[in-house]
Structure 1
């Protein structure tokens, strides 16, 4: 009988392109297999179903937590990720209120969805692309920007286009 490995182990993503397209990754788990890559680790996600669920895949080199089905190292499961240093944490996540932390979903190229309980113009919901195009919805109003100078701002009963080029009240 082979050794069983229960609990969580630190792993590093070696491969994230799953030939079966199910969100599996290959990892290195030094405490279990040294520098050898694992077999394909199944994802553990909050919800999965036919054509539905949460689909996320960590970047190559990212830190992930690994468990093993029934302790068997031939059946790894990646259950989440961790940041190795503070500089890896999305910047907007650190800007929130510690009593009510922001929710930030950010891709490697920094396409971002941020939800913050901060008051005023820094709080609310923000959807932002890598080129700077964004939509912000907060207590002040709604701002739509293409990241290249064109804006539409809805504040109270007023709509302002391109920094006052057209104002509708």
Structure 2
């Protein structure tokens, strides 16, 4: 078992408040998708309020901003849930429910096993990713950095062919 887990945050701005019919299907799918996450291999934790989801947690002046955070044993487990489960078709509908977001809307980072991320920690990761690009501090599925203490480029990093051999 690893001493590190992967944390993720994603944020979005709803096109309308609940219970507006334009976002109602999103809210109706929440319990099913949250249950799917909890039953997925590698799931550790997810942010939730008394209603069992994170939609009632206010973290910004804009009441239409929504935050989702979770922790997984490894990035492959998270990737499988996001892109290879019943979550995928729901996520594909995000443009129906959320405005296009300027800046980073998803970030991944490593946390020590047994710790939980805070919303402030997650927002700082988004800020770092937005301002400075992928790094060990905050990264994406396209540029997954290895567990802290392991040197090397991001896992999915593909060097620019123009730069190869031009040090």
TM-score normalized with structure 1 length: 0.26
* Larger strand share, 1 or 2: 1
TM-score by length of 2: 0.26
> Quick check: which has more Rg, 1 or 2?
1
Larger relative contact order (CA 8 Å, sep ≥ 6)? 2
Larger helix share, 1 or 2: 2
